[in-house]
Amino acid sequence: MAIYFVPTANPFCLPSSSSLSLTTQTYVYHPIKCSFERQLTICKAVHQSAIHPPILTKRGLSISFLTTFVLSLAGEDANAAILEADDDEELLEKVKRDRKKRLERQGVIKSSTKETGYLQDLVYKLSEVGKAIENNDLPTAASVFGSGTETDWVQNANIALNKLSASPEEKTAVDTFNSSLASLISSVAGNDVESSKLAFVSSASAFEKWTYLTGLVVQLKGL
């Protein structure tokens, strides 16, 4: 415990000569509780705060990580933008080629009025056959087919299909149609109602797919 002596007189006022005697001055001591350990702790804290660098907080670490992450993403985005630009250019070229092919196809179709007429006749004939089969009237369906695959409208339809088919997928659809149509003619001739219905659905589906592939679906009536 430290002891401080505090004079009762004003320290800034000199006493008169008559009161210089030590016996005439009165001192009162006031014990002040002050822990030496507490003063040492305060001094140590002040010393450490002066020489140690600032502590990096969680928030500071988060900001630093976020900054690094954003910068890395910026580099990746730049590389991705270059790749996307190349992809976009290739896609644009593909779109141009496809458009050119469609225009050429439309030109061929517009100039093929005779073949388009053959296909329109095919739609009407198949419609008649379908109605007859739905009513289980196979003799009427057989009369529409006439001599089978050698009938004029069947032959003319094949001419048009082969001429207006360009892609492998379109040609595959034509082959499926011809195969299904042959089965349909055979089933009708054999008076097999169930087989005739299945073969008719297969024939109609193959022909409809072909019209979508070629774009003729918007020109032919009755589909």
Side-chain-side CA neighbours of residue 183 (13 Å): 18
User: For residue 120, is it within any domain?
Assistant: yes
Predicted confidence band at 117 (pLDDT cuts at 50, 70, 90)? very high
Structure token pair of residue 223? 């589909």
What is the tens place of the pLDDT at every residue in 70-104?
545 555 555 555 666 667 788 887 787 767 766 66
CA trace torsion 102, 105, 107, 108 (10° rounding): 180
Place of tokens 């016996």: 23
Q: What is the mean pLDDT of residues 173-202?
A: 96
pLDDT at 64 over 70: no
Residue 18 in any domain: the answer is no
pLDDT above 90: percentage of residues in the chain = 43
Task: Please tell me the least confidently modeled range out of 13-17, 65-69, 140-144.
Answer: 13-17
| Residue 173 placed within a domain | yes
Q: Tell me if 106 is assigned to some domain.
A: no
Tell me which residue range forms the domain holding 150.
112-218
Q: Please state the domain count of the chain.
A: 1
Q: Is residue 10 included in any domain, yes or no?
A: no
Domain contains 202? yes
Within a domain: 107: no
End-to-end alpha carbon distance in the chain: 112
For position 215, what pLDDT does the model report? Answer: 87
Residue 6 has pLDDT above 90, yes or no: no
Between CA 223 and CA 207 the distance in angstroms is 10
| In-domain check, residue 51 | no
CATH number for position 117: 1.20.120.290
| Angstrom distance (rounded) from CA 42 to CA 51 | 15
